[in-house]
Amino acid sequence: MDFKDRVVLITGASSGMGHSAALAFARQGAKLVLGARRSEAGEALVDQIRAQGGEAVFSPTDVTREGDMAALVELALSTHGRLDVAYNNAGTEGRSAPFAEQDNDNYDLVMNTNVRGVFWAMKHEIRAMLQSGGGAIVNNASMGSEIGFPNLALYIASKHAVMGLTRTAALEYVQQGIRVNAVNPGVIDTPMQDRVWSGDASARDDFTKRTPAGRSGTADEVTEAVLFLASPRASFITGTGLLVDGGYVAR
């Protein structure tokens, strides 16, 4: 999957799946435009990519602020004159609690990050892609976009919403050369998963055992799906969510 000289934007690039994707796209020759809240980690990633012969720029980006997202897209246009691929990876799990104990603060955090952040990202990315004849967008949803899960009502609802945004935009822009898909990871070894389980290794192990593959996935395995969906190899795929869950949803 050759992305030589393709301009690729990634949110939430400072760790986990975003970090993995940035390195993989760079190895394939892409020009990276990276956004994340943690500036020090983002700049360190840029240095790593450049040290390996790649090309990358970084802008501090909080996806709950539309201005930050607009600025990140504008950085792509001002630096490279186009935007070819966007991976909207930034997200949060919020606070785990029974449904009746959820509160408005957690609702605002989860929905503003996972739904409004993706909406704003897609809005500005689509406008940029229309200027240059098309592109590919991959949203990071979750296997939670297809199932429910106890104590994570708001997270689950937000990921269902991400799939709704994905499918609608796919229908609206497919004939203008823009494909929009989502990757739907299951249990993946990332810092977010560590927070979800709050150090309860036994609970995580029990959950992992219910995954038919018998293990957690890796960020790099999710990245392979992202690269595929962003590449011309997926030229007739739009409006779908690709599960990377070790068979969990198929049980």
131: burial class by Cβ within 10 Å (0-12, 13-18, 19+)? exposed
If residue 182 lies in a helix (H) or strand (E), which one and from where to where?
strand 178-185
Q: Which of 87, 155, 173, 248 is catalytic?
A: 155
3-class secondary-structure state, position 174: helix
Q: Identify which of 91, 119, 88 has the alpha carbon closest to the alpha carbon of residue 226.
A: 88
173 a catalytic residue: no
Q: Cβ neighbours of residue 243 under 8 Å, at least 6 residues apart?
A: 143, 146, 184, 186, 249, 250
Q: What CA–CA distance (Å, rounded) separates 240 from 142?
A: 12
**Which residues does the annotation mark as catalytic?**
155
